[in-house]
Structure 1
Amino acid sequence: MSETTHTPAQTMRRGLPGITGTDHIGFTVPDIDQAHEFLVEVIGCDHVYSLGPYPRNPELMSTKLNLHPEAVMHQIRFYRCFNGTNFEVFHYEAPDQRLEQPRNSDVGGHHIAFYVEDLDEAVAYLKDHGIQVLGEPTASSGASTGQRWVYFLSPWGMQFELVSFPQGKAYEADAEVLLWKP
């Protein structure tokens, strides 16, 4: 057996061994074709491949996915959206399925943020495509000074955000670690 050697950075690194980044974000949608149209035609993501439909599998659903045993996964579609993580989009049907979208303030609430070079141009584009934009862009303050952002909703009500900070953010001036930017 050979002995494994580690660089100082690997030896001192904390956390999950071997982690290199985020592979994908998975989310469930009520209408997979509507989500596909939004992600491909409006956002501009590439559809990479699809899986399913799947047969009923109570053991898989309850044991491996923590779902109702009678849940059915109709289809999964994978998308690449420029630089950054991939999306794994699910279409499920389950006896105990909740249909309302969580808000950011709800436990499990979330949103997906896209970085754009020109926030005003991107907002106008979304509005031209009939996408509901929540108010006008907001300038951040404190450590995020230099950033502007705005939320928008997908056709099924999921929260997304646009962010832009072409000259960087204030915290970057003396930070030891920078947030990832596409």
Structure 2
Amino acid sequence: MGVTVPDIDAATEFFEAAFDAVVLYDMRRRDEMPNSSPEAHGYLGIPSTMAQGAMRMLALPEGPGLELFEYLGPEQRYAAHPSDLGWQHLAIYADDLDETLAQVEAAGGTRNSDPRDLRGDEAGAGNRFVYTRTPWGSTLELVSYPTPQPYLVYAPRPKWAPWPMPDDVYPVPAPAVH
């Protein structure tokens, strides 16, 4: 996953404090010349007035890599709202939603509301979510679903979860229901 941030060091501190992320390596350091070549504009799809600055790879515990990018130039805009076209938000699974939310807020993030119960095909005891904003305005969803969700009975495959696969939860094949 890649995210553009206004300050790579501040963003690193946020992800370290909020999610126990660790720095793996820097692909481009701040002391290196920003990449404003026509080639970079082409393969990155960025405006010709922008330059690729620092790049850093983080790792989230038991999760994916997270690439942080800094871009320099006059055409940079603020983070999109979830209602804007394009990728909407990043969801991070939390074993303890309240604890993770407290870490996000202590690291400088803000919540949009109090945590809410997941509904419908995602419902279950303790299954909850909350939308938050990073210090630079990107939307992060914190989600926890410790109870197997109803969709597992009929869906062709599960979404990622830290608990057993559906065959372990539902050992008898369930009839297809739509």
Band the TM-score falls in, shorter-chain normalisation? 0.7 to 0.9
1:126, CA displacement in angstroms? 3.1
Contact 1:139 1:149 in 2 (8 A): yes
Matches of 1:125 and 1:63, distance apart in 2: 38
Q: Which runs of 5+ in 1 are unaligned?
A: 1-24
User: 1:133, CA displacement in angstroms?
Assistant: 1.4
Give unpaired runs (5+ residues) of structure 2.
Answer: 163-178
CA distance in 2, matches of 1:129, 1:65: 30
* TM-score, with length taken from structure 2: 0.80
Judge conservation of contact 1:54–1:72 (CA < 8 Å) in 2.
Answer: no
1:125 aligned onto 2:123: no
When normalised by structure 1's length, the TM-score is 0.78
Hey, what's the Cα distance between the residues in 2 that align with 1:129 and 1:57? 32
1:178 aligns with 2:154: no
Larger displacement relative to structure 2 (121-130 or 106-115): 121-130
**Could you list the per-position Cα deviations for residues 74-98 of structure 1 after superposition, in whole angstroms to 9, with x for gaps in the alignment?**
2100011022321111011123222
Task: Measure, in 2, the Cα distance between the counterparts of 1:45 and 1:56.
Answer: 26
Amino acid at match of 1:83: E
2:16 aligned to which of 21, 36, 40: 40
**Residue deviations 1:19-54 (CA, integer Å, cap 9, x gap):** xxxxxx111111111101101122210110012234
1: CA distance, partners of 2:87 / 2:9:
23
Distance 1:55 1:176, change over 3 A: closer
Aligned residues: 157
The answer to whether structure 1 residue 73 and structure 2 residue 49 are counterparts is: no
Q: 1:31 aligns with which of 1, 4, 7?
A: 7
Query: What are the equivalent positions in structure 2 for 1:1-182 lying under 5 Å apart?
Result: 25-52=1-28, 53-98=32-77, 100-146=78-124, 147-182=127-162
